[in-house]
Structure formats: C-alpha cells, structure tokens
Amino acid sequence: MPVVHPRRLRAIACFATAAVALCTGAAARAAEPAADPHAHHRAMLSGSSVRTSHGAYAVPDVTLVDEAGRKVQARALLDGKEPVALNFIYTSCTTICPVMTATMLELQRSLRGGSKTPHFVSISIDPEFDSAPVLSRYAQRYGAKWTFLTGTPQDVRAVLDSFDANRGGKANHAALTLFRHAGAPHWLRVEGLASATELAQAWQSAP
Amino acid sequence: MAVRALKIARAVAAFGLALAANAAHGGAEEGARLYLHGIGGDGAPVAATVAGGVPVAPAATACVNCHKRSGYGTSEARVRSAPLAGRVLFAPVLDGARPRPAYDADSLYVALTTGVAPGARTLDPAMPRYSLSRADAAALATYLRGLGAETPGVDAQSLDVVTIVSDTAPADVTAALLAVVERFVADKNAGSRNESRRAAAALRHPQGERRDRAWREWRWRVWRLHGTPDRWPAQLNALQAERAPFAVLSASVGRDWSVVHDWCESQRLPCVLPITDLPPDRPYDFYSLYFHGGALAEARAIARHLVPADAAPVRVLLLRDADPTAGTAAETLRATASREGADRVALDERVLPASASAAELDRAFRHGRPDVVVALLPAAAMRTVAAAALRDGVARVYTAESFAPWGSWSAPPALEVLHAYPYRIARSGAQFPRESVWLHGHGLDALPAVPASLALFACHAFGEGLADVNGVYSRDYFLESMEHLLDDTQMTSVLPRTTLAAGQRTLSKGAWLLRAGAGGRYATADWVAAN
C-alpha cells in the first residue's frame, strides 16, 4: 500500500508536531510576564492554528521590480512612513497562495475607507518564474489591485532573509502575513492560514 | 486572457476526458469535472471555504490543486494533502502518523461538507469545506476509485525506459546522449549493492525494507524515428504497442521535438529532459520536462536586455534567414519587445537569403539606421554582418546560442557583441567540473561537453525521481515528485539556475547575456529572466 515517502514522513512528523503546538495556541510559547503588550494578540488567536509574534526587520537596500516592470526601492517601500500589509506568494502555487491572495483581497475590501489602510504588497518567492508580466497576469486573474514584487534571485532572497521568510525550496514555504503601521518600529507577524477577519483584527490591534 | 483560459481549460479537459474514458463506472466523468475543475454535476461551480470561512474560487479549491493529478497528494507549505488514490482512500490506514477507517461515498460526503473524517478527526483548516450534493460526492468517489491505477511499463522486477532519437537530430548530440545513457543505465543495473537480491528478499518478508522492494531493473531501449516528423506519430504508436515504457529518459530529435511532445501528451507519457533548443510553447501541458526554453527564451532575454524599463528609445535591426526556428524566435522577440518595451523599440526585421551580399546588408543598415542589430543567423553569416555593422557605425550586435554558438566565430574587437547563452559559465577552469569527472571515469571525455552533461543530468534527475516515488509507480506521481526535488536540488547541472514548482515544466528560465571579451572569453555576464 503506498504511503508517504519516509523523507516526507519525517518532514510531516515535524510539521505535525508543530501544528499540534500551534493548535494549542498560547501554550506553544513560554508564559510571558503580564507586562507583555502583545498578550492580547495571542489570546485572540489562540483558538486557531494561527500564531502571532512581532519583530524588527531590517530591509536590505535593494531594488525590486513591480508587476508593471517599474523599479521599486525595497527599503523606501517597506521601511518608510507608509503602513504596509505584506505577504509572500508564487504564481505557480496551487496550494495556499490562491487562498492567501483571496484573503488579502477580502481584507483590502474590508479595510477600504477606514482610517488606516495599509499599502498591500505581495513578494514572489519564485523570481525566476515570476517575471513582471507573469505577476501582472496573476494579479489580473484575482482582481488584486496592489503591488506585486519580483527582482533578481539574489535581491529577492535578501529581502526574504530579512523578514525570516526564506525556507529554501518552494515546497517549504509557509503562510505568512506581516503588518506595520506608519512609523512603527516593529512588524506584526501572523503565521498560518488566517482568515480575513483574523487579519483585520490583527491589523487593528497592531502597535 | 480568454485565450489563455481556453488553453488551460482545453488542456485540463482533455486530461479529464481521457481519464473519464478509462473509468469503469458512470459518474467518473462527473467526478473528473469536480476533481479537476470544481464543477458539480449540475454544471455549476461548487462553492467552498478555506481556513475557517474564507470563500475561494472553485478553480482554486478543485481537489487537483493539492491532491494532484496523480491523486497521491503532496506536502507543501506545512500542509500535507493526503493520497486520495482509490486503493489508499477506500482502504483503512492501520499504522503511521494518522490511522483511520476506510472511506466510502457517505463518509466522503461528510468529510467534504463538514471537515470531519472517518474516525472523527477534523481535517486541517487548509482543506476546503464544500457545498456539494451527495450525488456529487458519489461521482467523486467513483472517479477516485479509478485514480492511481496501475501504470504500464513496470512490473515486479523491472521498469521500461526509452530514449527517443531521430534521423533529423544533430548526429553528435545523439551520439553523446546515447553513450551517456547507456553507461549510466549499465551502472545502475550493475547492482553494486546487490539490489536485486535485496529486493527479492524484501518481497518475501512482511517487514522488508520499502526502498528495497521499490528497486527495479531498468530495461532501456532506444526508439529510433525515421523520415520526416509527420511520420513519427505512427512509428511511436507502433513502438509503444510493442511494449509501453514507464517514461522517456531524454531524447535527441532536434528542433522537431514538438511532434513528440504532443504525442507524449496524448499518451500521458512522461518525457524527461529531451535535448532540444526548440521546446514548444505549451505552458499548461504536463508530460514533458525541459532543461531550458531554447531559442525562444534566448529571444525573450535579448528583447528584455534591449528594453529595460528606464531606457531611452532604441532602433533595432533584426536580421535572420529563412530557417523556421529563426522565424519563430524573431516573432517571439518582436512580441516581447512590443508588449514590454511599448513605444521604446522601433524594430526593422529583414530576412536574408542564404548568401547575402555585403551590398544587401548595407542597404538594410542604411534603411533602418539602427542603434543595435539582433542577428538570429548562423556563424557563417556573422563575419559579413559584423563588417557591415562596423561600416554603418552600429556598435552593438546581439547573437544567440541557438544560431551562432559561442566560440563559433570571432567578432572584430571594435564591435560589441552580446550573446544570449543558456548554460553555465566559468571565469576560469572547467565549465562542467562534476560532469567531467564522471565522463572521464567512463572513458567518455571525447564527447561534446554540453550534450554529454545535459544527458548525465537527465539520467540523475530520472533516477532521483524514481527513487522519490518509493515504489508508487504512477507516471503522474513521478513527474510531481520531480517538481519538488528539482527545485532545491543539490545535483549540479550544466544549467546555471534551476528551479521548478507544480505546473512548471522548464528548469532554467533565463539566459546569460555575455559581453564578448578578448581571447574568446566573456568580459561581463548579465543574467536576464526569460519567462
């Protein structure tokens, strides 16, 4: 009877263990002092398989390319004064990326007209295949009107590394959304396939 | 966009119909439409939500996206999509990380609509919850029973592999390919670790090592195609009728490969890494896997190098001959330049006769008054072109590996030559060090380096793909395994950058633009994406 390859089974066992930990939510992380300003994030999302944390990420000084082929300074876009909602996809992905793009679209709709609307950005983790025209077609297919970024493999990898979003081959990529309010020192990191509602809540309560 | 959607629909529908034709029961055709497209029995898309209620389009929640064409599932993004192939799904899983009772049509309906699997386990939030009818679930069950059925070309001891060659291919490429594959297969079958004995022993013991039981001897044959390409499908049908292979391990049929590509697609036969510089442009096909995009990728790379986003307008003289490949490459270059360069490129295309005179060339130059020249011409024509360019004050000429290979002619020093080159480059030392070691060890140093190295990589990739399926000899699963293993591979290759993903079928998606330097070396190298 065919079962999963041992190599994959080991990987799955690791993920299954992690998934169990994630499902038990707050218990996955060591208990933190009551002064922790982000405890409410964890409490809010502890019922789902989504995990939040925060981080300070130093974006490298590289030039990426958007879906229209225009050059974009990564640092100016992501370190600057604008609020940002960022995720990572690749256009050939058939598993979670369509869901993540649909979710980001729904999030964009729900936040439209609100007091603080982030600049939505999706960075491709497959810059070799995802050239600007390919990204443009993907955006059109989903009706996604936001910034999609690609670039040279080295530059994209440098940006992924800076956000701790680099998992080597594409098979290991993980659902990740990052939020930053204008001028905030930290990003809110949301790991896992969050719904648009969960992401909206994360955005509203991010520092 | 509509044309593209039609292409996708056509490719997937053809597959679905082919599968449905093999179905034992009625309902499999409806099941195929559900599995591949997310369309229910009433013809309407089936609504689905993911991750706790996010509505997602039916095309994106169709089962095939995660559970794959083979039905054996995948593991990606921390989501494990379980095997749904009938013999797995409708049998209990007694051991391993997730034991469960066997599914049937009823429990399948419950799992798909509520997310609760047999054994009362809740399915991962990444698994959609569908709004579908019991009838749809029954149709899907029928389809799944037929999925993952036995594949031709493999039995308990051996696995049939063919390499396809033709009279029309360059003889040195064919010779290199066959020499390398023959030695590789001989090594593999030599059983240096008593694989055949271990396999036999493993079959006798219930606890026998899975990997040992998965071992097969490769029965390798060469399919030789004769005459013109229009006669090949009939020959291929006859060869397959004699004995159907599990898969094709590379091929050398030159630029007529698209005939074989289409035939393999119709037969659902994997074709792993044929050596050709004219892969057809079929981005939604499944069964052929390519090293690189060939002449068309080189054309796209040149077009993109000509028109970077912030560049000034440029006048281009595009010179080619009557070679159909040059015609297709020119078309691709023109389309890329116009789509991405907008109004920055003024392109004047000239088709030159076989022995264009200097006067004809001068006329072409004076008419166009180009800033740069793109020459999709063989080396024999390049000396005249270079001379004309210099006479007419054009300082830059683009060439491409598929037409005038690197090193096949030398440009005058005053002329800047930019050459589209798909293979690995080396500042100094061996260009393909790892391959050279293997070739030397097998007494094959005299073979031309590029085709020999390509052939060796094809053999390695094929072997790794077979190892990865670990006894699950499904042709589709074999290709799906390679989508993962070739993305992050440690195997060295004659290609500088290889990546792959589900649905992608070309390993290297760009080319170097080499600026020719002194002494036949390159002065600079820019990598240009060509997808």
> Which residue among A15, A131, A171 places its CB closest to the CB of B529?
A131
Residue of A nearest to B97 (CA): A13
d(CA A108, CA A103): 9
Kindly write down the DSSP assignment for every residue of A110-170, as one continuous string. Answer: HHTTSS--PEEEEEES-TTT--HHHHHHHHHHHT--SEEEE--HHHHHHHHHHTT---SSG
Per-residue pLDDT of chain B (531 residues; tens, 9 = 90+): 556 666 666 666 556 555 544 444 458 899 999 999 999 999 999 999 987 788 888 888 999 999 999 999 988 887 889 999 999 999 998 877 778 999 999 999 999 999 999 988 899 888 999 999 999 999 999 999 999 877 899 998 899 999 999 999 999 999 999 999 999 999 999 977 778 888 888 877 766 677 777 889 999 999 999 999 999 999 999 999 999 999 999 999 999 999 999 999 999 999 999 999 999 989 899 999 999 999 999 999 999 998 876 678 889 999 999 999 999 999 999 999 988 877 888 899 999 987 778 888 888 888 878 999 999 999 999 999 999 999 888 989 999 999 999 999 999 989 999 999 999 998 777 788 888 999 999 999 999 999 999 999 999 999 999 999 988 999 999 999 999 889 877 676 788 888 999 989 999 999 999 999 888 889 999 999 999
Mean pLDDT value across chain A: 81
Higher-pLDDT residue of A109, A30: A109
- State both tokens at B380: 């024999």
**Paired residues of B480 in beta bridges:** none
> Which residue among B56, B499, B529 places its CB closest to the CB of A98?
B56
Residues 42-71 of A with CB under 8 A from B: 48-49, 65, 69-71
Query: Do B308 and B433 touch, CB atoms closer than 8 A?
Result: no
Q: What is the pLDDT of residue B4?
A: 64
Q: What is the pLDDT of residue A119?
A: 96
- What's the gap in Å between the CA of B77 and the closest CA on chain A? 4
Interface test with A, best of B78, B212, B528 (most A CBs within 10 A): B78
C-alpha torsion sign, points A105, B1, B347, B329: positive
Q: Which residues of B touch A153 (CB under 8 A)?
A: 497
The answer, yes or no, to whether residue A8 has pLDDT greater than 90, is no
Residues 135-194 of B with CB under 8 A from A: 148
Residue of B nearest to A10 (CA): B97
Q: Which residues of A touch B470 (CB under 8 A)?
A: 5-6
CB pair distance less than 8 Å for A2 and B471 = yes
**Best CA proximity match to B75, nearest among A2, A4, A92:** A4
Q: Which residues of A touch B74 (CB under 8 A)?
A: 95, 171
Confidence of residue A4 (pLDDT cuts 50, 70, 90): very low
State how far Cα B323 lies from the chain centre: 25
> Which residue among A4, A92, A140 places its CB closest to the CB of B503?
A92
Q: Which helix (H) or strand (E) holds A86?
A: strand A84-89
Q: What is the pLDDT of residue B9?
A: 61
Q: Which residues of B touch A156 (CB under 8 A)?
A: none
**Best CA proximity match to B151, nearest among B143, B141, B159:** B159
pLDDT digits 0-9 by tens, A51-95: 999 999 999 999 999 999 999 999 999 986 899 999 999 999 999
d(CA A44, CA A205): 10
User: Is the CB of A32 inside 8 Å of chain B's CB atoms?
Assistant: no
**Paired residues of B347 in beta bridges:** B316
Query: Do A199 and A44 touch, CB atoms closer than 8 A?
Result: no
Q: What is the pLDDT of residue B5?
A: 61
CB pair distance less than 8 Å for A94 and B65 = yes
As to burial, measured by CB atoms within 10 angstroms (0-12 exposed, 13-18 middle, 19+ buried), residue B11 is middle
Query: Do B194 and B137 touch, CB atoms closer than 8 A?
Result: no
User: Is the CB of B432 inside 8 Å of chain A's CB atoms?
Assistant: no
- What's the gap in Å between the CA of A174 and the closest CA on chain B? 4
Q: Which residues of A touch B56 (CB under 8 A)?
A: 98-99, 102
Name the DSSP letter for residue B342: G
Residue of A nearest to B489 (CA): A169
The ipTM (two decimal places) reads 0.87
Kindly write down the DSSP assignment for every residue of B242-302, as one continuous string. Answer: H---SEEEEEE-GGGHHHHHHHHHHHT--EE----S-----TT--SEEEEE-HHHHHHHHH
Query: Do B272 and B242 touch, CB atoms closer than 8 A?
Result: no
3-state class of B158 per DSSP? Answer: strand
The answer, yes or no, to whether residue A155 has pLDDT greater than 80, is yes
Q: What is the pLDDT of residue A25?
A: 35
Q: What is the pLDDT of residue B153?
A: 96
d(CA B526, CA B524): 7
- Using alpha carbons only, what angle is made at residue B487 by residues A139 and B62, rounded to the nearest 5 degrees? 50
- Which amino acid would we find at residue B31? G
User: Is the CB of A109 inside 8 Å of chain B's CB atoms?
Assistant: no
Q: Which residues of A touch B497 (CB under 8 A)?
A: 128, 153
Full-model pTM: 0.87
What are the φ/ψ torsions at residue B417 (nearest 5 degrees)?
A: -110, 125
Q: What is the pLDDT of residue B48?
A: 94
Q: What is the pLDDT of residue B152?
A: 93
The answer, yes or no, to whether residue A3 has pLDDT greater than 50, is no
Query: Do B225 and B256 touch, CB atoms closer than 8 A?
Result: no
